Amino acid sequence: MDTCRIPENASKCSGNTMECFMVLSTQAQKISIGILCGLFGTMCVFENSLVLYLIFSSPGTRKKPSYLFIGSLALADTLASIIFACSFVNFHVFNTAGFSKEAFLLQLGGVNTSFSASLSSLLLTALDRYISISRPSEYKLLMTRKRAWTALGVLWVSCATIAYLPLLGWNCCVLDSACSELFPFVDDHYLSGWVCFIVVLLGCIVYAYAHVLWRARQHVAYMEKHQAQAGKPNARMRMDMMLAKTLVMVLAVLTLCWSPVLVLMIYSIFGRLSARLRKVFAFCSTLCLLNSVVNPIIYALRSKELFSSLRRVFSRFRRRLKAPEESPESTHRSSVVET
């Protein structure tokens, strides 16, 4: 196995680099991580697979750029849940360290690609809503289906390229540089760059949604003033209030799920993490998976179109369940009674 410089504060590992990063020391910690990954991963795959089915099974939704961005978000979250949960449990719970540096960096690249694509899809969704509320008359001209597919292509290629730079050679074994305290074989400078990339994404998302929230509040204040004079309720005003609540929820979830991980990553770049903080980081990492569980509820299932499609799917499912109950014998009996 490839070896490279071990973090100074890592426990004594008898020369095995991978074992230095297996920070869960008790069976209770391993069981807790296994339960969290299993629960969040299963929920995430089910919810996001359902969203993908609802979007691409309807010609009306799969042609709209906004739903293409939500579909990209659901795809990224599905991949993130599968790759992250399997690799995380395999490494921290079952302590599997018998794979090469390349195999580990391949898994890590898949995790980073998925989470980066998830946040980038959130950014495209935020920009889509930003354009729709700031330039509504030009929205259809600016946000075409072709431009949406082009943006998604650039998004996925960029995220994959950035995520697989360690596998392509930017790692501490090839460069003989300082390794990260949190990830095997990962160069500290690469981790700094990736954290900056994620922080910029989150900052752009927050700015776009804050602007949407500000415009929505302006619209609510304007409509309240004019509708109070007319003495009529306004459906658009209620819709803007719902939008404002959704945006506050979005920002709260992003802050809750990503702040602990990013803070610990930044701290590890400038300082030294204790063994306890490295365990905390392992548990905080599951919050990123929780974000992927919440995303379809916030972005997809709150949509009236997708919710209506979901109701139709459940209705068809209930009819199929009731169909076996209507056996030929019962049908014959009812026809005799009617005769």
Nearest of 124, 100, 120 to residue 112 by alpha carbon: 120
Residue 333 has pLDDT above 60, yes or no: no
Query: In this structure, what token pair is assigned to residue 55?
Result: 């979007």
Question: 72 pLDDT band (50/70/90 cuts)?
Answer: very high
CB 195 within 8 A of CB 262: yes
Residue type, 152: L
Q: What is the DSSP string of 2-63?
A: ---PPPTTSPP-TT-TGGGG----SHHHHHHHHHHHHHHHHHHHHHHHHHHHHHHT-HHHHT
* Averaged pLDDT score across all residues of the chain: 82
pLDDT tens digits for 150-207? 999 999 999 999 999 999 999 988 888 888 888 989 999 999 999 999 999 999 988 8
Q: What is the pLDDT, as a whole number, of residue 246?
A: 72
Q: Which fold has domain 25-134+141-308?
A: Rhopdopsin 7-helix transmembrane proteins (1.20.1070)
Listed in sequence order, the residues at least 6 apart from 29 whose beta carbon sits closer than 8 Å to its beta carbon are 279
pLDDT tens digits for 291-307? 999 988 888 777 878 88
Residue type, 276: R
Q: What is the pTM of this model?
A: 0.84
Question: 239 pLDDT band (50/70/90 cuts)?
Answer: low
